[in-house]
Structures are given as structure tokens and as C-alpha cells.
Amino acid sequence: MGIIYGPVPSRRLGMSLGVDPIPRLTCTFDCVYCQLGRKRCKVRGPEEVTEPFPDPEEIANGVREALAKHEHIDYITFSGSGEPTLNPGLGEAVELIRRFTDVPIALITNSSLLTRADVFDAAESFDLALPSLDAGEQDTFVRIDRPAYGFEIDEIAAAIGRLAREVPVWLEVMLVQSDKYGSNADDEAISAIIEKVGVIAPCEVDLNTCVRPPEEPVDSVSEERLNRIRARMEASLTGIPIVVVPHRAKAHSRLIREDEIEAEIMRILAVRPCTTVDLSDSLGINPAEVGKYLARLSEAGRIERRVQEGRLYYATKDG
């Protein structure tokens, strides 16, 4: 997969042009709910990454080319197949992109490296930050996020709080349950999360659960349970909007030429499993047409089918 992917319909950001600024599947965490499966390379920081990072000019040039092809982009989003803040050139890349576009730039991060001064400075340069906080105490953090050695949830939460005083922060809380790994959605775990959120004071909290199929034995939390948690958090966190993230976003326009469709499907699926309708929304073509491409790619052995809660998803073989 290249550095730039999409645009893809995001449940939070509309049509999002994705930037993957790191070697594929390189992360500081190995979250049990990750839709791409276990990380190929789990590290404590960029000094442990042996593959080269895309440089800022390469990233900016890719964004410039993509913007020239697509009429409607709501956000340029640094995210991808692992932790984007591992790239030491993140802040410089944002600075270069701002020279040729006013499209807002968002950072989706697992929050782990915000404790580092250089990463924090880079995060401040974004228009919007969407950090994750999946636990309020260390035991649940280790069970659900499976961090590399040395990360402490108290330090990470404190860093998110500092960032929330500098840029708009939408805090994402991913809630799951599992016979193997336990849950971060029980009453005790939610109490600890509420305590941390109160200190962080984000612009809003987005409650999420695993909609696309993870490779680990992890189940989503029911909508009824999410709404009960939302109500509890609202009662405790006065003035902070608590949002249950919707399961679908709509595309705004046809986004790519016909001769690019197959390659674009592969780029999107390399980032996350999708249903036929997800791809239809992203590509701006009808589901029947998308189905033809999916059938061809499946027959060629380039993608595989997965079923999650009765819904059929497609994913790349290594993702």
C-alpha cells in the first residue's frame, strides 16, 4: 500500500484522505481489537524502527497529487496501519501540506508517544486530534491495548490532557468484550475511564466498538450497552458531549476514474476491512459494480471474505 489512500468514508470525519506515514503494521500497541490483526513490528519508539519512514516531502507531494484528483475532501487524516506519530517528520509534513491547501488536517493516534516532547509538538500542529484512551488503569490497558514495554496509562492520559488544552481533541474510547482478554466495558473499567476523561476534558468523547471484524477473539459491545455507558458518562462528565459513533458514513461524490477502481479497492482494504456498501460509499459507484471487482479480486486470491455479526466484509490477505 502507498502512503496515501482513499478518500474513504469516515464515521467521524466525513470523506477522509488518509496518510499512512509509517512502515506497514508498525505500532507501539498491538490492540486486541485491531482490524488489521497482530502488528508485524511492535516498538517503543522510532529508534526501534528499522525500515525507512516516508519523508515529509514525499508525504506532502502525495497529498498534493491526491487533492488534484478528488473534488470533495473533508479532512486529510494521518492514521494508517499503525501509529503515525512514530514518524519523526510528522510536524514538518503538516507544515508542507499547509502551504498548498486549507483542508483541515487530523491526527488519529493511540496517544502512546504524546509523552515525548517532539511528538507532542508535532501533534499541536494539527487542526484536530483524535487520541485513543481504552482504559483508565494499567491492568485493563495492558490486557486490551497490549502496549510495548514501558508505557504507563497515567502518563499517557496526562499527556492527552495537555494536548486538549492546545488543540481540539475528540477522545475515542474503543469498548470491547472477550472471553480471552476480558472487557473494558464493565462497570469498574468504565469508572476508571470516566475518572481519566474528567481530567483530560476533551471537546467530546466518541464511544466506539469493533464494527469491522478483528482477527482476535473479541466481540463488539451492543448498542444498548453503549447507550447505557453514554448516559452514565454524561451524568458524571457535565459539559463534555458523549457520542456513540454511528456505524456508517455517506460518500458525497464520485471520487475516482473507472481505471483506478481495482487499485483503490486494494488500498482501502489494506487499511481496514470493508463491506460492499462501505466501498460503494467510498468509491462513489453502485454496490453491484463494486461486487464485480470484489469477485474478481477474490478469485485471484488477492482478498478474502470475513463474517462479523452476520455481515460480510472483505480484507486483504495480510490485513
What are the pLDDT digits (tens) for 64-80? 999 998 878 899 999 97
Quote the pLDDT of residue 80.
76
Tell me: do 186 and 292 sit in the same domain: no
Whether 251 is covered by a domain: the verdict is no
Confidence of residue 248 (pLDDT cuts 50, 70, 90): very low
Bridge partner residues of 307 (DSSP): 312
Confidence of residue 213 (pLDDT cuts 50, 70, 90): low
94-135 confidence digits (pLDDT tens):
999 999 999 999 999 999 999 999 999 999 999 999 999 999
Tell me: do 206 and 274 sit in the same domain: no
Examine the pLDDT at 255 and tell me if it is beyond 80. Answer: no
* CATH code, 262: 1.10.10.10
- Is 273 in contact with 215 (CB distance < 8 Å)? no
Examine the pLDDT at 266 and tell me if it is beyond 90. Answer: no
Whether 301 is covered by a domain: the verdict is yes
Quote the pLDDT of residue 257.
53
Examine the pLDDT at 256 and tell me if it is beyond 60. Answer: no
Q: What is the mean pLDDT of residues 285-289?
A: 67
Rg over alpha carbons for the chain, rounded to the nearest Å, is 19
Q: What is the mean pLDDT of residues 131-150?
A: 96
d(CA 166, CA 129): 10
Whether 128 is covered by a domain: the verdict is yes
Q: What is the mean pLDDT of residues 222-249?
A: 87
17-58 confidence digits (pLDDT tens):
999 999 988 999 999 988 776 667 899 999 999 999 999 999
> At which of 183, 216, 244 does a domain end?
244
Tell me: do 176 and 265 sit in the same domain: no
Question: In Å, what is the CA distance from 186 to each residue of 221, 228, 240, 279?
Answer: 10, 11, 21, 34
- Is 287 in contact with 276 (CB distance < 8 Å)? yes
Domain span at residue 223 reads 4-244
Q: What end-to-end distance do the CA atoms of the chain give, in Å?
A: 11
Q: What is the pTM of this model?
A: 0.79
Whether 250 is covered by a domain: the verdict is no
Place of cell 499503525: 82
Tell me: do 145 and 210 sit in the same domain: yes
Q: Per the structure block, which three cell numbers stand in for 250?
A: 455517506
Tell me: do 17 and 131 sit in the same domain: yes
Confidence of residue 264 (pLDDT cuts 50, 70, 90): confident
Whether 209 is covered by a domain: the verdict is yes
* CATH code, 145: 3.20.20.70
Mean pLDDT for the chain? 87
> At which of 244, 268, 298 does a domain end?
244
> At which of 244, 275, 305 does a domain end?
244
Domain count, the chain: 2
Question: In Å, what is the CA distance from 121 to each residue of 111, 125, 287?
Answer: 13, 7, 43
d(CA 58, CA 79): 16
